Amino acid sequence: MQGMPRRLYGTALKLNHLMQKEKIWHPFNRVWHWVFALVVIGGWYTGQFMTFSTIAWHFYFGYAALILVGVRLVWGALMLTSKNSGGLYLPSFENLILYARSLKSREPSGTAGHNPLGTLSIILMLLLIGTQGLTGLFIESIDFFETAPLTHLISEAMQSKMNWWHHTVSALLPYIVGLHLLAVLFYLIWKKENLIMPMITGWKWVKRDNTDSHTQS
Ligand code: HEM
Ligand code: HEM
């Protein structure tokens, strides 16, 4: 396939049967992802533009985000030993470097699940949003006369630390989500690989030699 226009490379891989369509995302992952995205956006919006009537909603979105992070981490741990793509493993440094080097080639990764960099960024995103939710449980809103359920358990000094973390992470969140969307766009445009459709339908074009890589790091 040498000398072939780059935009045709992915198609050529498919025609040459080097890639096959496989169902890689369990319905759990797909439903979880879109619900999580809505909940995080809802939580951020009701926090950023908080009013007396939306603070309760902010708490509900926050609890939902925390539950979803917890459920995803448990699912990620349970799926580590299965063929399912949802296992969350910590990729080795070597694999991260190897994968990062392959980013410049305009060839679809064809990974049957998240690639090593994707897994790392998703673990970091879960930890960050988990931190946001957990710190929220311990703060109070002076402007809206509302106290989170666990605020009374800690000292005022700790509350102000939690408040600092809650505000700082909330300021970072739009950039983190923006980076996530840019990465998806990078795959679509640069690597000619649509990651969005698989997150909706479950089906993805996967390289044949990658079909057993669900649990590899
Ligand atoms: C993923 C979950 C969450 C997100 C994205 C989020 C986001 C935000 C944002 C953007 C703000 C405004 C920050 C600012 O103006 O600088 C805020 C404030 C606040 N959040 Fe959250 N939050 C989450 C979870 C929670 C939870 C679980 C609680 C408590 C149950 C909570 C309680 C509060 C309170 C009380 C404030 C107002 C603090 C103040 O007035 O200084 N948040 N949150
Ligand atoms: C606040 C908004 C969002 C958050 C917090 C978020 C978070 C996440 C997380 C945690 C995952 C990993 C899912 C899993 O392993 O089960 C993921 C994957 C993914 N997200 Fe999002 N997401 C958001 C919005 C979006 C949007 C709007 C799109 C589409 C344009 C999108 C496209 C994707 C895709 C394609 C994947 C799979 C990546 C891969 O194949 O490795 N996300 N997202």
Whole-number mean pLDDT of the chain?
A: 90
Range of 173's domain? 23-208
Contacts 24+ apart (CB under 8 A), 168-174: 169/128, 169/131, 169/132, 169/135, 170/44, 170/47, 170/48, 170/132, 172/128, 173/40, 173/44, 173/128, 173/129, 173/132, 174/44
Q: What is the pLDDT of residue 83?
A: 79
- Distance from residue 67's CA to the centre of ligand 1 (Å): 16
Query: Does residue 48 lie in a domain region?
Result: yes
Query: Does residue 203 lie in a domain region?
Result: yes
Q: What is the CATH number of the domain that holds 83?
A: 1.20.950.20
Query: Does residue 10 lie in a domain region?
Result: no
Domain count, the chain: 1
Query: Does residue 32 lie in a domain region?
Result: yes
- Ligand approaching nearest to the C-alpha of 63: 1
Instruction: Decide whether any atom of ligand 2 lies within 6 Å of the 189 Cβ.
Output: no
Whole-prediction pTM? 0.91
Query: Does residue 12 lie in a domain region?
Result: no
Query: Does residue 13 lie in a domain region?
Result: no
Query: Does residue 65 lie in a domain region?
Result: yes
Using the predicted structure, report yes or no on whether residue 213 has a pLDDT greater than 50.
Answer: no
